[in-house]
A and B are shown apart, each in its own frame.
Chain A
Amino acid sequence: MTEVVGRIRPASNVPTRLLLFGGIALLIFCIFPFVAGEFQTNLMAKLLLFGALGVSLDLVWGFTGILSFAHGVFFTLGGYVAAYYLKLNLSASANNYGGTLPDFMVWNGLTELPWFIAPLQFFPVAAIAMLLIPAGFAYVIGWFIFRSKVSGVYITIITLAISSALTTFFISQQAYTGGTNGITDVSKLSLLGIVIPPIGLYFIILFFTAALIAGGWWLTQSNFGLILRSIKENEKRISYLGYDVAGFKIFIWTLSAAIAGIAGGLFVPLNRFISPVYLAVAFGTQVVIWVAVGGRGTLFGPLIAAILLGQVQNSVDRITQDWQLIVGFILLLVVLFLPDGLMSLLPKPLRFTENNQVTGYLPPAPKKR
């Protein structure tokens, strides 16, 4: 026994294999816009953001076991913040009515900018609000849900209700939100007075997604990640070890909403509009599908699934309008035959789902004598 203890492998937090594959993937994504056309570049940027949204849901669903249909909502809240910023920064000549007031507000009889929207015309305020509004909203919901010990399917039902309620609310507040059409014809994103070209936006989005994957890996590999996984398996047990389970859930829920909010905020300069479509349950369900198809608790899976399904949708779209039928069929296949998602097709050493922080420190499994 002492012999086994003597052989301690040094801790390496990132396996070489992962660095290698991550590096190759990043390289491909860097070359991609120079090879593909502008349409594909924009599509890929959009799919990277959808992937990031999937990763944010994976943190709460795949790792912690909380199924949410409200991640489209957090995404869209960030999106509206960015849309207000870009709309309010249209040059007067570009605006349909020549004034500073957004067109939809003029149509709905507003004569001046509402005080709660006005601060969003300043970049630092908008940048912070893009993160804080979804996170703050999620924190309040999370505090009530998790402190009152609501669990399982009831949380999921609450998230469905939130999604439906906000959709209705945003449609009804036409003067402030643009109603069903949402906020359209926004200005292009410019930083320090320079208009960002599509390729620049692509690289900003690629940087965000890569940083998210790296940060998500670091977080889920930490002791914190181990605790999330034990909450998923049995949340009662860990409370008897002195962990405040509600506190952990509120934290990851809020963090995940902030990530979704940033993804939504980056989505608007690319998409050039935001509307209540992204608040609705249908979009929230799509996020759930990316995670389910990619593989829950795999971090990389949802990103891969969002890109693959997006490309499938794009190809099928040219032939038939019924792309949802195809996506539905793929989902059915995965649920029936690959319950752990596409990532489970990969050989185990390439899934990177083990908590390496711990296994890296352990002696290799003793050989059978």
Chain B
Amino acid sequence: MQTVSSTADLDAIDSMETVLAVRDLKVVFSGFQALKGVNLDVGDQEIVTIIGPNGAGKSTLLDAIVGKSPVASGQVIYHGQDITNKNSHEIARMGIGRKFQNPNVYNDLSVFENILLALKGNHTVFSSIRSKMTRLKKEKIELVLDQIGLLDKGYTKVASLSHGQKQWVEIGMVIAQDPTVVLLDEPTAGMTADETHLTGEIIKAIAQSHSVVVIEHDMEFVKQIAQRIVVLHQGEKLAEGSVGEIQSNPRVIEVYLGREQIDSAA
């Protein structure tokens, strides 16, 4: 019964407009093939969760999308436009936001300043010189601070926050950036169970108006947010489907879930 309903979900997703498409993507690091021809489609307001063992190429896939890792062959298509190997600031301006695996935030700046930097707007040299702090901007930033639960920490330097709070600051930066596609690399790493759950709710809220791609290890969390799961293994796509389908896929169990079960049993 469960599989039937999730297949219906998948059909619905197929009919949605594809916002971001990755076509036969290959990334090579000095001879090592980190990605061996991966395909991925992300629909409008969809959450795609990528799982896979260490070294599967999950982060590399996101790196290739945002122009951090050079693409050897294949294409990244965003709204029908080829953005392969474009400059990272150009890709960001087009509407792709990224949260990194380790919180990649400005420790020397306050939480407020971190969000201010990310705030959607004209990011050229001259506009930033003319740019003034306005009540509207302040309210927008406070809205984000409220969303990530750090409203009372706006004045605090990020350096003095906990690891989990830093993760939220970076999620807040992505929210403030207001991209069309949000790429989140292990957003709950280092978080307590409560923090993880809250992060899941934040991500669901983001997905109301954005397309979201999440890399995750925590299966509980994946179940909380996932609509569609993509399993990567050794630079290739191993499987794709709903939570139920992935959990019952024998190949996935063999390379990933199976080993995890053994790990947790040990």
Contact = CB atoms under 8 A, between A and B. Distances in A.
Contact of B92 (A224, A227, A241, A361): A241
A219 B128 CA distance: 10
A240 B100 CA distance: 10
B98 interface: yes
Interface size bracket, A side: 35 or more
A125 interface: no
B152 A4 contact: yes
Contacts of B146: 1
B142 to A, nearest CB: 6
Contacts of B92: 239-242
Contacts of A360: 133
A234 interface: yes
A222 B131 contact: yes
A230 B109 contact: yes
Nearest to B137: A361
A1 B106 contact: no
Given A238-B117, A241-B117, A362 B155 contact: yes
B53 interface: no
B251 interface: no
B250 to A, nearest CB: 38
Interface in A216-249: 219, 222-224, 226-227, 229-230, 233-234, 236-245, 247-248
Contacts of A366: 152
Contacts of A361: 133, 138
Interface residues of B, number: 40
A5 B142 contact: yes
A5 to B, nearest CB: 6
A358 B157 CA distance: 13
A242 B109 contact: no
Nearest to A362: B155
B257 interface: no
B177 interface: yes
A251 interface: yes
20 contacts: A1-B146, A1-B152, A5-B151, A224-B129, A227-B117, A229-B108, A233-B108, A237-B100, A237-B105, A239-B88, A239-B89, A240-B88, A240-B97, A241-B89, A242-B89, A242-B123, A244-B87, A244-B123, A247-B125, A360-B133
